[in-house]
Structure 1
Amino acid sequence: MPRHVDHDARRRRIADAVCDLIADRGIEGVTLRDVAARAEVSMGAVQRTFPTGDLMLGFALDHIIAKTQERGARRIDTSGSKGSAKTLLSITLQEMSLAGSGQRAEATVWLTFTAAAAVREDFRAVLREHHEKSGKLLAWLIDYGKNAGEIRPDLNTAGETRALRTFVDGITQHFALGLVTTRSAHRLIDDHLRGWWTSREAKTRS
């Protein structure tokens, strides 16, 4: 009988191998032979899964975004926050920053793709879409916090959303360079948000 192949699992496995190689050597160091060896599959399996190198790299970038979203969703589900805007925002920003324990390689890969996007429209399109979606999520969370009475109603949602994206990108860079630890990166996020809370919310969190 032919062996059943989980194609989604194979794609993720290859994407993980690609990311590992990028973290070690940069995008230029990603070769078909090395990807196959790192993923422990044949070169033919890699080529059947991704007919071109560009498709393979593009999926690896999408894979990082998907992993970040899944990790954030799991943390929120198990946080016991009961809809707290503070917890939702804190976890979301921590995951967006890629500054979690053991995530330095992932942050490095993300920055590598970001740098490459300056000259590659395919990467730029993916990153722009990601920034647009994450911006909408942050704006929704801010407005949610306002409606719940946790966040000051005078806070400018659009302006703070743009500032948050820039702020988080800076943390990713500093984390990848080893300038901040996971603990200090997460503390920076919480310190940034501290001025947003209403007097009532600040008292309940003190």
Structure 2
Amino acid sequence: MPKRVDHGERRKLIADALMRVAAERGLEAVSLRHVATEAGVSAGMVQHYFGTKDEMMTFALAVVREHGEARVTRAVAALGDHPAPRTLLRTMLVELLPLDEARRADGRVALAFLAYTAVRPDVAAGLHRETAALLGFLADQIRAAQTGRPADHRVDPDRAAVGLLAVLEGLGIYLLGGHYPAETALAALDAQLDLICGPAQPAG
């Protein structure tokens, strides 16, 4: 009986190799041949599963997204039922910052993909949808966090969400470059959340 091939597992093997190549050597090193060597398979096999570099990059970004979603889900679950919107926001955003080696590896791939889409707008369509969904979620949480605040202490949730995402991305880039330590990034994130949502309330 011929051996049954797990195509999903093979795609993941190749995508993991792609992520290592992009994270360790830079986007310019990503090619079918380099990824095949890293995965220990033939270039023909890589091309069977990913006909183009665009397809490889898109799949790798999906893996990065799954990693991030899993981290956020675990962290948010640990907050218990009905966490305060500001607490939920901070917990989620902290998990998306590259504060350990696993998140730094994912962050380098995401940054490489973002740079790649800057000159390949046709590849960026899926990323646009994800960004819009994330901004919508952030705006909803900001809106909820401002409940009860005086009108002159409120901000436009949609604009604030755009700014908050920009702060998150900027902090991530500078963390990846080693420009400052995690403590500095977290303090900057807290300062931004204070401006948008007000200071964190004491637990209990």
> Which interval holds the TM-score relative to the shorter structure?
0.7 to 0.9
Aligned Cα root-mean-square deviation (Å)? 2.6
Structure-2 separation of matches of 1:145 and 1:163: 16
Structure-2 separation of matches of 1:182 and 1:175: 7
Q: Percent identity?
A: 32
C-alpha distance 76-2 of structure 1, shift in aligned 2 (>3 A): farther
The reply to whether residue 194 of structure 1 matches residue 187 of structure 2 is no
The reply to whether residue 51 of structure 1 matches residue 51 of structure 2 is yes
Superposed displacement of residue 72, structure 1: 1.1
Q: Gaps spanning 5+ residues in structure 2: where?
A: none
Q: Any residues of structure 2 matched to 1:15-54 within 5 Å, and which?
A: 15-54=15-54
Superposed displacement of residue 81, structure 1: 6.1
Aligned residue pairs: how many?
201
What whole-Å deviation, never above 9, does each CA across 1:140-160 have from its counterpart, x for those lacking one? 22223345x5x7762321121
Structure-2 separation of matches of 1:196 and 1:155: 7
C-alpha distance 54-159 of structure 1, shift in aligned 2 (>3 A): closer
- On the 8 A contact 2:142/2:196 being kept in 1, the answer is no
| 1:143 paired residue number | 143
Structure-1 separation of matches of 2:65 and 2:58: 11
- On the 8 A contact 2:146/2:197 being kept in 1, the answer is no
- On the 8 A contact 1:152/1:198 being kept in 2, the answer is no
What whole-Å deviation, never above 9, does each CA across 1:133-178 have from its counterpart, x for those lacking one? 110111122223345x5x7762321121111111111111111111
TM-score scaled to structure 1, two decimals? 0.82
| 2:98 paired residue number | 99
C-alpha distance 38-152 of structure 1, shift in aligned 2 (>3 A): farther
C-alpha distance 138-152 of structure 1, shift in aligned 2 (>3 A): farther
Instruction: State the secondary structure of the residue aligned to 2:118.
Output: coil
Structure-1 separation of matches of 2:182 and 2:11: 29
- On the 8 A contact 1:107/1:175 being kept in 2, the answer is no
C-alpha distance 186-26 of structure 1, shift in aligned 2 (>3 A): same
TM-score scaled to structure 2, two decimals? 0.83
| 1:174 paired residue number | 174
Instruction: State the secondary structure of the residue aligned to 2:51.
Output: coil
Amino acid across the alignment from 2:99? G
- On the 8 A contact 2:14/2:36 being kept in 1, the answer is yes
Q: Gaps spanning 5+ residues in structure 1: where?
A: none
